[in-house]
Each structure stands twice: as C-alpha cells, then as structure tokens.
Chains A and B, each alone.
Chain A
C-alpha cells in the first residue's frame, strides 16, 4: 500500500529536482516515440533541446527563444499571482487579444501620423484593454458570486470573434487588396516595437516580461501584500482575520493578470506579429497557464518554464525541418513533457509512504 502524506512545506530539494527528472523521463519516452516513427531518437532529442541553444545557428535561436518566451512569461507572471490567491483567471487568451486590439487600434486610428508619444500611448491602451476585459469576471464574481474561471473562459470566445470581426471589418487594411488583416505596424515607425539590439530578439515585450518576473518576485516574496495573497490562497478564513478583503483581492489579481496579458498582446501585435489578423492569437494565453504551473507559480520557475516551452517549440520546428519529424509527433512530445512535469510535481508537495497509512 502506498500512501501520500502532505508535506508541511513544499520540499525545496524536490522542487528543483522534479523538473529535471521530468525532462529526462520525457527524453526517454519521447525517444521511444521517435524511434517508433523510424527516426534516430538521440538526434531528435539533441535537435530539440541542444541545437537551438548550442548548435551552429544558436546565435539566432537564442534570440528567438526570448521572442517566443517573452509573452508566455509576461502573461504567466500575472496569472501566477492570482493562482496563488486562489483566483483562477483562465481567460488570459482573451485579455491578450483585447490588449492587442486596443493597442493596435490607437495606432491605426492616427495612422500615418508619426509621434514619439504614439508607442507609449499604445502600451497604455493595451494594458488598459486587458485590464478592462479582466474586470468583467472580477466584477461578476464580486457582485454576483459567479465563477471567474468560467466567465473568463467564455470571454476568450467573445474576444476571438471580436478579433475576427476587427480583422475582416473595421481594422482591415484599406490597401490590402481585400484580404483580411490590418496594416502591418512593423512598417509604421512610431507604432513599431522593434528589436532593441539587432539579432538579440530583445524587444520591449521581453523587457516587460523580465520586469514582470522581478516585480512579481518582489511582490510575492519580499512584500507583505504577497504574504497576504498566499495566505488568502491557502487559508481563506485566516486571511480574512488578517484583514484581507476578498473583493479587493479579486479585483487586484484579475486586474494585474489582465493588464499583463493585454500588454503581452500589444507588444506582440506591434512587434513580432505586426498585424491584427483573425489568427493573431496563437494560444499564448492558454500556454501561459501551463507555463505558470510548470514554474510552480514562482517567478523564477516561470522564467525557466517559459524558456523551456519556447525551446520545445523552436526545437520542434527544427526537428521537423532537419529530421522530417511530423508536427504531430512534436505535439505528442510536448504533451508528454507537460504530463511528466505536472505529474512529478507530486513529489514536491507530498511524501510517498510505503506501507499502511498512519491511523
């Protein structure tokens, strides 16, 4: 008989070693999968995990890692604060979309006027857009007690349709020969969020992601507010005695995560993506939820988890290109990685005891 005993404190040792064990387990399981598909498993694993970092063209890929990981980390940082407090915003995808629409909307409204104030204005609009979208579930939760999980998820679908409406209607590029999609902001200097140092992949969104990691670290681990948030998540009743007002906490957590998701959308649409199209949202908002959990809801963990996720995307594309692995095999591989990472996390919070349970 095997029983689980909850640890009084998450094990620091296991929280560091379980991700490593999970990655190794994935490499073994993935290697078997790749071998079954008739590919060299060692080469496949090396292509996915090693080549983007240390391969012949690593200089380019390291930068791309930041481009891909930036929005994931930025969104996940905000989500994790809420998750710690037991507030489940799973609609970051929608807030990301609305942030992009609002930010791009500011630029498209004044096109082609050039001004140094334009980009800051877009940033503000993007953040507010995401924030406002997240306020809908916050207010409905506070006013009517409606689950924020479900409202925020429903609002993703609403945002997606709004995005399609914008791409086909009001925001359609008048010079686009009737094709859907807005003007490309990369070709609008004042609105463009460019690479800050050529070849590094570093743009304002990545800077914002790093600031978010530092900011949430300070908030959660060096500030009384973070302590209250964690108490609210772990022991809601105790938190109330400690003076935490649940309604304010809901507004703060959803607002923060919404604003950061909105900013991520803005930086993406003004930078790497460039355009509002109906396929603009590539699932960053949902992937960020996974990143938040892979990172154990800890800012540093999220930073690493975001980079790891980005690595599997970039390495996965590379494995397709170099080894002709089908995209589906990469998806299965990513799925397994997540399963192992999520599953092994058990060891961090629980002790496994062999033999009967204590009475």
Chain B
C-alpha cells in the first residue's frame, strides 16, 4: 500500500477490502506480520509465538509470507511497528502481548482493511480479534500432580504479575492439588517480572526455605528449575517444555502452543472467512499442552493426571466447577455451577483455602 491510499481512506479501503476476498488475487502470497514483546530467543513467551509463525509457514508454504519484529517496547514503538507492517502490505497482523492493546486499536482504526489479532487483550473491533489460551486448564493438571507429589504438603507458586491470567493459574492449581490432597497448602511469591533469572532463582529459594517441595512457576526462565534440582524437589516447565531438566526436577510442563490457532486464522484469511472473534482455546484446542509426565511420577498419578487432562479436553469437566468459595469464605460458585468466561477474565480473588493475600 502506498502513501496515498493510507492518507485517503474510505474509497480505497472499500476497493482493497473487496480485493482481498477476490480469489483472482490469490496468487499473491498473503503477508502475515508478527510483533513480539521479547526476543525470539527468550525460550518462553515470544519464542513460542515464533514457533506458531513457523507453523504457519510450514502449513501454507508459498501462499504466505511471514515476517516479525522482536523486542518491541509497548507504547508508541509498538504503534509505529504495527503501522509499518500494515504499510508494508501485511494483511493479517498478530500482536502478541497484552501491552500492545491500545496501539492495536489505534492502528486498526486507520487500516480498516487489515486484520489484527491481539493476544490476551479485551478490546475488539470489526478488524480486531482477540485470542488467549486457557492456561488454567493446564494448571489444573499440574496442580493434581503437585498435590500427589508433595510430601511436605506445601506447594509453591512463583507468580509474575497479579493479573487475572496468573490468579486463575494459582486458583486452579490450588483447587486441584487440594482435591487429591486435602492437607495441601499453597505459598505464593510475586516476582513482578516475566523474565529475570536471578530474581526467579531467589523466589524459588524463598519458597524452598518455606518448606515447599513442589514448585509451579508462571515466569519464563529456567532458574527455578535449577534451584529445584539443587534442593532435590520437583518443578514444572513453563511456556516452553524446559525438557533439559527432565526427568527431574521437571516432572511435567505447561506449554503455550499457538500453532493450531495461527494456522487456523491464517487459513481463514486465505479463504476469505476471517471475522473478528474472541477465542479462548484450551487443552481441547491444542493451545495448552501438557508436556511429557516423566517417570519420576508414579504411574497411577500420571494416569490420573492424564485422565483429568482428557476430561478437560473433551469439555466434560471445567476446572472452575462449584462448590467453590472465595478466600473470605463467601460463596462463589454453587454445586455444579461453572465460572463464566467474564468472571474468569477479570478474576481478582483467591479461592478459599489459600492463605496468602492477593496484592491489589
């Protein structure tokens, strides 16, 4: 797209919008852009998104051209990079961090014929879809394993930031650990970072000093794994598999897998059926993957965890099913009642039984 069509909008836009849906133009490959908040080599969040980009290339070959810009600070830089992508003719742009939200909305308003996909946000438009993964489903499985594996009955959770996604994860892990082990306690430490190896190692050490013998982490470095190994306790991989720490301390993992969603959405662009939507995929959609459960876990525990995973995947079971009370003892979900997505996406309280206080 050149400057003129950028500055004078509506007429050209209508034409272009029509053009993208015409099969006659299909011989031009579809340009798809990805914008990452971290480096693709972070082995965590951005790395997993980039695997999704590669899956798109593998799936559609010559029909698509993908490109990405990494380590983009949230704010005006993101807005500029998104605009650059649109100006360079990308027709579908994946913005893979919550903090890109307002930038996506601003740019989307200027480029009505370009489709945007924003990860983990809550603002949508005709050309802006949102997507997220139900990480809490995976946390339920990890919580079940953790509940069985702990001998001290203390499980530790390294939180990144007190945002709904992480609060869901803490609650879900705790609920399912306690289901299999009524004596279990949960210790929570907030690192206030997604990635800071030194701090994460300290957080793990703090939890270990509190007598925790299973650690779940919601931050992306492997530093807690190393601490767990040193202390001879168990841990779970986060974001990527962290398989180099298997079979122990890493006894399983929760993996972000954006491949199926990216392949599906790009496919919809290619056949002209893309429309704005809010997708929240879980284990059943392949977006949340439970990494190999190693031989350090007894066979019956592994079987139980896998059964839970399959029940969640089939939709037979929802990790937030009543009866559940809030931390203060007041009722949240009645017997058999399931939490709505609206409630979960703004979740800002712990469930009953967690003793720590949620920072506000």
Q: Do chains A and B touch in the complex (CB under 8 A)?
A: yes
A residues with CB within 8 A of B: 56-61, 64, 67-68, 164, 168-169, 177-181, 184, 186, 199, 268, 272-275, 277, 279-280, 282, 313-314, 317-318, 320-322, 324, 326-328
10 shortest A-B CB distances, which residue pairs?
Answer: A272-B76, A59-B3, A57-B87, A327-B71, A273-B75, A320-B69, A177-B346, A178-B348, A282-B73, A327-B70
Kindly state the separation between the CA atoms of A317 and B84 in the bound complex, as whole angstroms: 9
Kindly state the separation between the CA atoms of A328 and B359 in the bound complex, as whole angstroms: 36
**Residues of chain B lying within 8 A (CB to CB) of residue A169:** 360
Kindly state the separation between the CA atoms of A321 and B347 in the bound complex, as whole angstroms: 36
Q: Is A60 within 8 A of B83, CB to CB?
A: yes
Q: Is A326 within 8 A of B345, CB to CB?
A: no
**Residues of chain A lying within 8 A (CB to CB) of residue B98:** 179
Q: Which of B15-23, B141-149, B156-164, B329-337 contacts A (4 or more CB under 8 A)?
A: B156-164
**Residues of chain A lying within 8 A (CB to CB) of residue B162:** 168, 178
| Known contacts A60-B87, A64-B80: A322-B99 contact under CB 8 Å | no
B residues with CB within 8 A of A: 2-3, 6-7, 33, 39-40, 67-77, 79-81, 83-85, 87-88, 98-99, 102, 106, 122, 161-164, 167, 192, 345-348, 359-360
Q: Is B6 within 8 A of A177, CB to CB?
A: no
**Residues of chain A lying within 8 A (CB to CB) of residue B71:** 327
Residue of B nearest to A282 (CB): B73
**Residues of chain B lying within 8 A (CB to CB) of residue A164:** 192
**Residues of chain B lying within 8 A (CB to CB) of residue A314:** 80
**Residues of chain B lying within 8 A (CB to CB) of residue A184:** 102
**Residues of chain A lying within 8 A (CB to CB) of residue B76:** 67-68, 268, 272-273
**Residues of chain B lying within 8 A (CB to CB) of residue A317:** 69, 72, 77, 80-81, 84
| Known contacts A177-B345, A272-B79: A321-B7 contact under CB 8 Å | no
Offer 6 A-B interface pairs, CB within 8 angstroms, sorted by A.
Answer: A57-B3, A67-B80, A178-B162, A273-B75, A277-B99, A327-B70
Kindly state the separation between the CA atoms of A60 and B163 in the bound complex, as whole angstroms: 35
Q: Is B67 within 8 A of A60, CB to CB?
A: no
Report the minimum CB–CB distance from A173 to chain B (whole Å).
11
Kindly state the separation between the CA atoms of A322 and B65 in the bound complex, as whole angstroms: 11
Q: Which of A178, A199, A279, A321 interacts with B74 by CB under 8 Å?
A: A279
Report the minimum CB–CB distance from A151 to chain B (whole Å).
25
Q: Is A280 within 8 A of B75, CB to CB?
A: yes
**Residues of chain A lying within 8 A (CB to CB) of residue B6:** 57, 59-60
Kindly state the separation between the CA atoms of A277 and B78 in the bound complex, as whole angstroms: 14
Q: Is A180 within 8 A of B161, CB to CB?
A: yes
Report the minimum CB–CB distance from B220 to chain A (whole Å).
16
12 further A-B pairs in the complex, CB-CB below 8 A; given A56-B3, A184-B102, A321-B67: A68-B76, A178-B163, A180-B161, A181-B99, A186-B102, A186-B106, A272-B79, A273-B75, A274-B102, A318-B84, A320-B67, A322-B67
Q: Is A60 within 8 A of B3, CB to CB?
A: yes
Interface centre among B3, B39, B83 (most CB of A within 10 A): B3
Q: Is A324 within 8 A of B67, CB to CB?
A: yes
Q: Which of B39, B74, B360 interacts with A328 by CB under 8 Å?
A: B39
**Residues of chain A lying within 8 A (CB to CB) of residue B88:** 57, 321-322
Q: Is B102 within 8 A of A275, CB to CB?
A: yes
Report the minimum CB–CB distance from A235 to chain B (whole Å).
42
**Residues of chain A lying within 8 A (CB to CB) of residue B164:** 177-179
**Residues of chain B lying within 8 A (CB to CB) of residue A279:** 73-75, 99
Residue of A nearest to B347 (CB): A178
| Known contacts A274-B102, A280-B75: A321-B81 contact under CB 8 Å | yes
Q: Is B68 within 8 A of A320, CB to CB?
A: yes
Residue of A nearest to B6 (CB): A60
| Known contacts A60-B3, A67-B76, A317-B72: A179-B163 contact under CB 8 Å | yes
Report the minimum CB–CB distance from B310 to chain A (whole Å).
31
**Residues of chain A lying within 8 A (CB to CB) of residue B72:** 317
Q: Is B346 within 8 A of A178, CB to CB?
A: yes
**Residues of chain B lying within 8 A (CB to CB) of residue A318:** 84
Kindly state the separation between the CA atoms of A275 and B76 in the bound complex, as whole angstroms: 10
Residue of A nearest to B37 (CB): A279
Residue of B nearest to A320 (CB): B69
**Residues of chain A lying within 8 A (CB to CB) of residue B106:** 186
Kindly state the separation between the CA atoms of A184 and B106 in the bound complex, as whole angstroms: 12
